[in-house]
Amino acid sequence: RKEVEQDPGPFNVPEGATVAFNCTYSNSASQSFFWYRQDCRKEPKLLMSVYSSGNEDGRFTAQLNRASQYISLLIRDSKLSDSATYLCVVNPNSGGYQKVTFGTGTKLQVIP
């Protein structure tokens, strides 16, 4: 099983749609989880951290399911500007300024 696994997509959705991505991780001891977005040939940019209780930031909602070892990202009311690759990132270390592991990313294309 890969350390961090994502469906590569692409997900093609119309503007205004709701879309959800899942990500599974293999290390049950993992402590921190993040979603980043990456535009073509640009650097990853932090979208949001994922907390155990779930968290929301505007149109974006992240959930963590430790028992099943997956995290999810829900985007409501999709905008054209949401088109990007969404990267699931897992840090196995507690309080860790250490290695994080990236998934391969899920590509989202929002269509007018």
Q: Which is nearer to other proteins, 95 or 112 (CB)?
A: 95
By the criterion CB under 8 A, which residues form the site for other proteins?
32, 34, 38, 41-46, 49, 87, 91, 93, 95-105
Residue 4 vs 75, nearer CB to other proteins: 4
- Closest distance of CB 74 from other proteins, Å: 20
Which of 35, 33, 52 shows the shortest CA–CA distance to 86? 35
Indicate the residue among 58 and 95 with the shorter CB distance to other proteins: 95
Least Å distance, CB 48 to other proteins, is: 10
User: Which 8-state DSSP code applies to residue 58?
Assistant: T
Cα–Cα distance, 90 to 71 (Å, whole number): 10
